[in-house]
Amino acid sequence: MELPYIEPYKIKMVEAIQTSTINQRKKWIAAAKYNLFKLSSDQVRIDLLTDSGTGAMSDKQWAEIMLGDESYAGSSSYEKLEQTVKQITGFPFFIPTHQGRAAENVLFSALVKKGDIVPGNSHFDTTKGHIEFRKATAIDCTIDEAFDTTVQHPFKGNLDISKLEKIVQKHSAEKIPFVLITITCNSAGGQPVSMQNIKQVHQFCKYYKIPLYFDSARFAENAYFIKTREAGYAKKTIKEIVKEMFSFSDGMTMSAKKDGLVNMGGFIALKNPEVYTSCITYNIIYEGFVTYGGMSGRDMGALAVGLQEATEFSYLQSRIQQVHYLGERLITLGVPVQQPFGGHAIYLDANKFVPNIPKEEYRAQALAIELYISSGIRSVEIGTILADRDPITRNNRYPKLELVRLALPRRTYTLSHLEYIAIAIKNVYDTRNEAKKGYNIHWEAPIMRHFTVELDKL
Residues serving a catalytic function are 72, 124-125, 215, 217, 258, 450
Instruction: Read off φ and ψ for residue 346, nearest 5 degrees.
Output: -105, 140
Q: Are 18 and 42 in contact (CB under 8 A)?
A: yes
Sign of CA pseudo-dihedral 382, 40, 105, 266: negative
Other beta carbons less than 10 A from residue 70's beta carbon? 11
On whether the CB atoms of residues 63 and 213 are closer than 8 A, the answer is no
The 266-270 sheet, strands edge to edge:
93-97, 266-270, 251-255, 212-215, 179-182, 117-120, 137-140
Mode of pairing for the β-strands spanning 380-382 and 266-270? unpaired
d(CA 188, CA 173): 26
Show the beta-strand stretches assigned E in 309-445: 345-349, 377-378, 380-382, 403-407, 439-443
Helix and strand numbers, DSSP H then E, in the chain: 16, 14
- Can you tell me the distance from the alpha carbon of 315 to that of 156, in angstroms, rounded to the nearest whole number? 23
Amino acid at 294: G
Number of residues that this document lists for the chain: 458
